[in-house]
Structure 1
Amino acid sequence: MRTGELPPPPIKQTLGFTDLRPEPGRVVVEMPAAEFHYNPLGSVHGGVISTLLDTAAACAVHTTLAAGEMYTSVDLTVKFLRPVTVDSGLLACEGTVIQRGRRTALAQAQLSDGEGRLVAHATSTCMIFPAGG
């Protein structure tokens, strides 16, 4: 996907992700905060923030998979620390693997605004299994 050999996931276009940079055990996802992300109160909807955090944490786990392995999120625990609006600018979400076992992986993600302030944090457990299993 990074090199363009495979198409990006549809969620990238749906939410307006502008960059996804993977490396082993780590992913950075970027997205500018936009009004179409807003909830009725005039800030970025918590579901959008959660999706960004889930994407970064889970994709970090994805970078650790061997050929023939798949994964799925088991849980996601999110802490919202600051409101996010269009004034927050470019959001950068870094996902990292904390621990990777045979069957599960624990990952975290930190979402920062354009000024580098932490606005949300999440932890996620992913289940790892053989493809087709």
Structure 2
Amino acid sequence: MSQTTPYETETRTFTWTTPGQVDLGALLEMTGLEQLQSMREGGMPHPPIMDTLGVTDLRPEAGRVVVEMPAAGFHYNPLGSVHGGVISTLLDTAAACAVHTTLAAGEFYTSVDLTVKFLRPVTIDSGLLTCEGTVIQRGRRTALAQAQLTDGAGKLVAHATSTCLIMRAGD
């Protein structure tokens, strides 16, 4: 028995570059900031998650990254607001990429933790979401970063802190 639903549906199509196509040796010869700048300028592909989420901008500078994404219906949870996982992904991206900008050639990192505080609901009416990540402290083996997510009106909607483990190629 076939069931029909009275609900309106939408379709979304997007493309991405398959990960792993970048020469890892050449990548490790660049600093983290150079890597992110190359992604921004189109010299290297950006990660597929950016296309999946609909990220529209990534602006890196030393110790800081700004990521932008308009809130959209495909980000929604069943209750009619942007899913906390989408918000967490934006916060994680900004905080971790801020750490990424501090990497010397031959270094890489991985996230150890992410602590998120949701401060107000996010909906399509929230408009362009802007997430700024900054490095709080960078050591030899770990880095602490934070990220703040604001809506189109500039209101703070979520905040996160993240610890990253710094490694050298060959460790």
| Deviation digits for residues 76-129 of structure 1 (CA, Å, limit 9, x no counterpart) | 000000000000000000000000000000000000000000000000000000
The equivalent of 1:101 in structure 2 is 139
Whole-angstrom distance in 2 between the partners of 1:74 and 1:12: 21
Q: Distance in 2 between matches of 1:2 and 1:17?
A: 12
* Match 1:84 to one of 109, 122, 127: 122
State the identity as a percent.
Answer: 86
Deviation per CA, 1:42-65, whole angstroms, max 9, x where unpaired? 000000000000000000000000
The runs of at least 4 aligned residues of structure 1 exceeding 6 Å deviation read none
**Aligned residue in 2 for 1:111:** 149
Given the alignment of the two structures, is residue 6 of structure 1 paired with residue 33 of structure 2, yes or no?
Answer: no
Give unpaired runs (5+ residues) of structure 2.
1-38
Higher relative contact order, chain-length normalized (CA < 8 Å, sep 6+): 1
Q: Is 2:92 the counterpart of 1:54?
A: yes
C-alpha distance in structure 2 between counterparts of 1:108 and 1:26, whole Å: 10
Q: How far did residue 132 of structure 1 move?
A: 3.7
**Bigger Cα Rg:** 2
CA RMSD of aligned residues (A): 0.5
User: Who is 2:32 aligned against?
Assistant: none
Q: Does 1:43 align with 2:72?
A: no
The TM-score, its normalising length taken from structure 1, stands at 0.99
Secondary structure of 2:40's counterpart equals coil
Relative to its length, the structure with more strand (as a share) is 1
